[in-house]
Structure 1
Amino acid sequence: MKSRVVALTCGMQALVGVAAAYADERPALASAPMPAPRKGQAASAGFVADSRFDLEWRNYTDYFHASGIRRHAWVEGLQARIESGFTRGPIGLGIDAALFGALKLDGGQGARNMVYLGRHGDGERRSAWAYPGMYSVKARVSDSVLRYGLQNVSNPFLDPHDNRALPPTFFGASLLSREIAGLSMQAGSFTKVDPRGQTNLVSLRTAYGRVPFKRVSYAGATWDYSPNGSVSLYADQADDVWRQYYGSVQHSIGHVQSIRLTGFANVYSTHDTGAAMQGPIHNNAYSVSLSAQHGPHGLLVGYQKILGDQFFDYIDETAGVYLVNSMDVDYNAPHEQSLQLRYWFDGKQAGVPGLSAMVWAQQGWGADASAAARAYTPGGPPFGALYFRNGQPIRGRHHEFGFMPTYVVQSGPLRHTKVAAIAEWHVGSADYADGTNQVYRLVVSVPMRVF
C-alpha cells in the first residue's frame, strides 16, 4: 500500500526516517523534521533583496511489479520556485509561488500517478503537463511566519509523500514559530491537496479507508532539549473522521569515532470523532528503535506494534506515518507486530562525503482483522473492504528486503545534485493486505539557484 525513502541525513533522521522519499506508494521518519533555520524579521533586507529563484530538475524512473500488475514510468519533472523576502518593519509581508511541469518519456496505461492521472483518473496518454504547484501569501512577526495558500508542510500528520516526478502540495494556512531557541511550534488548517500526478485541487481523504473529509487542523511542537535529544508532541483532527495524538522522544550518547548509541520511541493514538465517517476507531500504534554507529557503519533494530481492531491510518498523499517500520509497506494491520534490522553506511565518516547506502530486512506477524471483519462484512461500507482479502479477514505474516544507495555531488557546477536508487522486494501471505511486489526506482535531482 505504500513506501517512501528519504535520503540519509544526520542524527535520528538518518536512522529511522531513511526509507521514505523514493520508495513505492508512500512513508517513514523518526521525528518531525525541523524546518530550515530562518532569520527573524528584525534582520529583513526587504521584499526584493531577500528574494530567491530556484529550479529543480528531477529525472524519475520507476518500475513496479506485482502479481498481474506491471507499472512503469520515466518522467522529467521541473519545479521553478520563487520566494520573496519580507517587507521591512514590525510586520513583514511576502509571497511565494512555484510552477511545476513534467514531460513523460515513457509510461503506459496503468501507470496511474507515476505519470499524469487526470481529474477523473484518466489522462495517462498525455505527454506533458504544467500547473501552479504552489502559491501563497506570508507574513512574519519576529521569528514567526504565517502562510496561506498552496504550500508544503512538514509535521507528523502532513508531510508530502514526495516519491514521484513532482510532489503533492496542500491548500490552507500554516503557522511556524521559532521564538525560543531550540523550540519549534507549528499549527495549521488545510482543506485541499494537489496530488501527485494531478494538476487540480481535490478533497483530503484517508490513505487506507479512502474516506474524504473537509478539513484537517493540527498543532504541536518539537523541543531540542540538548544537542543530542529532542521531544515532540502534536495533535490533529480530521473533521468527522478522527483525532490523532503523536509523541516522540529520541536521545543519543557517545561519538561515531568510538560508538554512538541512539534510542528512539514514538506513538500515535487515533480515536473517531464527530460523524465517525470511517467507523469506530480506537487505535494506538507505537515503535521503538535502538541504533549504534561506529565510524561509517551503523546498525538499527526497530520494533513496532499496532494496538486495536482497526488499521493505523493517516492522510492520503502524505508521509504522515513516522513509525520506524514504515518502509516499503506500513506494517499497520490490526494487532500487527513487526521487527526490522537495518544497516547503513555513512560515506562522510569514510572519507567519501556525499555517499550513503542502506539495506534493511523486516518481518511482520500477528495481523488479525477478524473483529473489524465481523463488524463490516464485505458488503458493508466501502472502507469495510479494507479488512478483507480474497473474501477472508486480513491476517498472516509478510516480510521485505530493501537496498538504497545515494550520492550527492559535493562540488563543481552540479553541486548538490542527488542520485538515489532503490530496490525493494516484499512478500505477502495469501490473506495479508499487501501483496507480493517488487519496486525499482532511480531518481536524479539537479537543483539550481538562479538568484
Structure 2
Amino acid sequence: MTIGPFLPLTASADFIADSKLNLGFRTLYYNNDYRDNTSGPSKTAEWAQGFKLDFQSGYTEGPIGVGVDVLGLQGVTLDSGRGRHQGSTMIPSDGDHPVDEWSRLGLTFKMKASKTELLAGTLFPKLPILVANDGRLLQQTFQGAMITSNDFDGLTLVGGKLNKVTGRGSSDRTGLAVAGGREQSDNFTFAGVDYKLGSNLLLQYYHSSLEDYYRQDFLGAVHVLPIGDTQKLKTDLRYFRSRAQGANAADKPGFQVAGFTEGGDGEIDNDTWSATFTYTVNGHSLLAGYQKVSDNSAFVQPNQASLGGGVDAGGSSTYLYTDRLASNFTRAGQATRYAQYGFDFAAVGVPGLNASVMYLDSDSIKTATASNLREWERDISLGYVIQSGRLKGLGFLWLNGLLHSEVVPNQDQNRLLVTYTLSLF
C-alpha cells in the first residue's frame, strides 16, 4: 500500500487493522429459451465462473480519515459456443464467439468525517434513481463520486455525479444513455434524502438528471405495522416523474428513448407509480401490488444496451417490484398486477432455505400499432445457504422465469448459481 509510509504509525495501524480482503466465487449457468423468436436467436445457454477480489481498507485516524478500496473482477467461460452465445448478456463477444475470459479493476478512494463519507472512483449505487445491476456473473460498476451523510438522527443525505459505466457483460467503460439512446452522456447527477420517522416510517425524495436525456423525481414512503409479536404489514408506495431535457427534448437524432412515445418523436414524458403490500407471519410472506406506467412514454433509468457495445454494455436494474427475470413491465401505458408468496424454512427448523413464487399480469401496453397489448410472467426462486461447518456460507440458487408477451418473444429462463465468499483477512 503505497500511501502507508506517508501516514503516522497510529493512523497506518487503523488503516491496516480495520482492512478486509475477501475472495468471492460465483458459478452461473444461464439458459434462456425463446424458441418462437423468428427474428433472432432461439436459445442462449452458457456456463461461466466469476471471481471477485474485494479489498476494503480501514480509515486513518484524525478528524478526516482516508482509505482506499480495490475491486478485481474476472470471468472465465466454462461452456458456450457460437450457436448458444448469440444474444448473450453474460459473456462478452469476440465477433460471433464468446471470449475465453474477461476482467476489470476498480479503485475507490474514500474520506470520512464523523458520519459523512465521500467515495470517488468505482461505485455500485443502490438508490431509487439508480441501481447497479448484479444479475449475471459480474456486477455492473459506475465511475464517479458520491457522498453520504448520517450526521443527523433519522436523516440520510445522498448526492453525487457519475460519468462512466461498465456493463455486467463487459470490460469496457462507456458513457450513459437510456434504452434506445445511441449517444453517450457523461453527466448523471443526483441528490436525495431518506427521513426516518420513528422506527416504522421511512420517507424518501430523490432527484436525478441524465444530461441530454431526462430529469427524474422520486417520492417514496415505507411503513411497517407490527401485528402482535410474529406478524407485520409493510406498505411501500413509490412514484417517479420523468421529463425530457436537452437533446432528447429537442428531438436530436441519437437521443430518442425506445418504445412508444406520443407523437413518435422518442421524447421522454413519464409518470410511474406503484403500491405494494407485504404481510409476514411465522416464515410466510404474502405480497400484492399494482403498478401503472403513464401513456406518453416508457419508464426510464440509465440503460446502455443501445450504445455501440450492444448487449455486452447493457443490463440495468430499476427500483421497481416489477423488475423481474425476463421483463420489468415498464412499457408505455402498462398496468401490472402482481402477487408473491415466499417461505423462510427457518420457521420450521431449516435455516438458510428459502423459496418464493411470483406472478405478474399486465395489460394496456401501447406500441406504434396497438394500444392494449398484454404480457405476464411467473418467477420461481429456490435457494439454500449452508449455515455451519467448513462450507458455511456456500450458497445454491435456482431461478426460473416464464414470460408470455404480445410485445416480445416468449421466454423460459433458468439460472443456476453457486456462490461462496472466502475471507482472507
Same fold (TM over 0.5): yes
Aligned residue among 30, 37, 58 for 1:62: 30
Larger RCO, structures 1/2 (Cα 8 Å, 6+ apart): 1
Q: Is the 8 A contact 1:208 1:314 kept in 2?
A: no
Aligned residue among 239, 254, 259 for 2:231: 259
**Residue 281 (structure 1) aligned with residue 253 (structure 2):** no
Task: Describe the superposition over 1:17-73 as per-residue Cα deviations: whole angstroms up to 9, x where unpaired.
Answer: xxxxxxxxxxxxxxxxxxxxxxxxxx9962111111111000111000112420011
Q: Is the 8 A contact 2:356 2:382 kept in 1?
A: yes
CA distance in 2, matches of 1:256, 1:75: 46
Q: Is the 8 A contact 1:260 1:292 kept in 2?
A: yes
Q: Pick closer, same or farther for the CA change 1:426–1:409 going to 2, 3 Å.
A: same
**Residue 418 (structure 1) aligned with residue 404 (structure 2):** no
Aligned residue among 172, 183, 193 for 1:221: 193
**1:51-90 correspondence runs (5 A):** 51-66=19-34, 67-68=36-37, 69-90=42-63
Q: Which residue of 1 aligns with 2:16?
A: 48
> For 1:287, what is the secondary structure of its paired residue?
strand
Stretch moving more, 269-278 or 256-265: 256-265
- Compute the displacement of 1:296 (Å): 1.4
Larger Rg: 2
Q: Name structure 1 gaps, 5 residues minimum.
A: 1-42, 374-391
Q: Is the 8 A contact 1:112 1:124 kept in 2?
A: no
CA distance in 2, matches of 1:318, 1:115: 9
- Compute the displacement of 1:74 (Å): 0.5
CA distance in 2, matches of 1:140, 1:189: 18
CA distance in 2, matches of 1:115, 1:52: 28
**1:22-33 correspondence runs (5 A):** none
Q: Is the 8 A contact 1:249 1:266 kept in 2?
A: yes
Q: Which residue of 1 aligns with 2:167?
A: 195
Q: Which residue of 2 aligns with 1:307?
A: 294
Aligned residue among 414, 418, 423 for 1:440: 414
CA distance in 2, matches of 1:245, 1:318: 22
Q: Which residue of 2 aligns with 1:30?
A: none
CA distance in 2, matches of 1:182, 1:108: 52
CA distance in 2, matches of 1:282, 1:107: 41
- Compute the displacement of 1:265 (Å): 0.8
Q: How many residues matched?
A: 382
Task: Describe the superposition over 1:200-238 as per-residue Cα deviations: whole angstroms up to 9, x where unpaired.
Answer: 211112135455322111010222323222121111000
> For 2:152, what is the secondary structure of its paired residue?
coil
CA distance in 1, matches of 2:118, 2:315: 21
Q: Is the 8 A contact 2:92 2:102 kept in 1?
A: no
Q: Which residue of 1 aligns with 2:323?
A: 326
Q: Which residue of 2 aligns with 1:153?
A: 125
Aligned residue among 325, 345, 348 for 1:347: 345
Amino acid at match of 1:329: S
Q: Is the 8 A contact 2:30 2:416 kept in 1?
A: yes
Aligned residue among 282, 287, 292 for 2:279: 292
CA distance in 2, matches of 1:208, 1:294: 43
CA distance in 1, matches of 2:298, 2:331: 5
CA distance in 2, matches of 1:82, 1:417: 20
Stretch moving more, 143-152 or 235-244: 143-152
TM-score (norm. length: structure 2): 0.85
- Compute the displacement of 1:399 (Å): 1.0
Q: Pick closer, same or farther for the CA change 1:256–1:101 going to 2, 3 Å.
A: farther
CA distance in 2, matches of 1:145, 1:303: 36
**1:51-200 correspondence runs (5 A):** 51-66=19-34, 67-68=36-37, 69-109=42-82, 110-118=85-93, 122=95, 124-132=97-105, 134-200=106-172
CA distance in 2, matches of 1:59, 1:291: 32
Q: Is the 8 A contact 1:209 1:313 kept in 2?
A: no
TM-score (norm. length: structure 1): 0.80
Q: Which residue of 1 aligns with 2:306?
A: none
Q: Is the 8 A contact 1:156 1:321 kept in 2?
A: yes
